[in-house]
Amino acid sequence: MKQLLRPSLTLGRHSFPPGFTFGAASAAYQIEGAWNEGGRGPSIWDTFCHEHPAGSLKGGINHEGIKHYHKLIDELRANGIKPFVTLFHWDLPQGLQEHGGFANKQTL
């Protein structure tokens, strides 16, 4: 079998410029659990969206969901982890999908 990397090649922190940030990502449907609790609304992944269960501000804000993420961010910071928040990570509220999802310009 052909070897893809040279045996002398090492990869470590020194391989990256100063200040480089390593990261990992997960989506709500991967980590939240409790799909039918906390005021979540259906999403395209058969889980439940936490902040805007109906897919819009008009549908209301789930304050329990907002509290959940505040606690999560506080816990990450308390453990020396710098959170990077994304507005979309592959979990679209079902309410937006029913109005065309990303094909609908209002979703963008």
Q: Check if the beta carbon of residue 68 is closer than 8 Å to that of residue 50.
A: yes
82 located within any domain: yes
18 located within any domain: no
Query: Which residues in the chain land under pLDDT 50?
Result: none
- pLDDT given at position 76: 92
23 located within any domain: no
Total domains, the chain: 1
- pLDDT given at position 48: 60
- pLDDT given at position 75: 95
Q: For 13-25, write each residue's pLDDT tens digit.
A: 888 999 898 888 7
1 located within any domain: no
How many Å apart are CA 90 and CA 69, to the nearest integer?
17
- Rounded to two decimals, the pTM is 0.59
84 located within any domain: yes
Residues of the domain holding 72 = 35-103
3 located within any domain: no
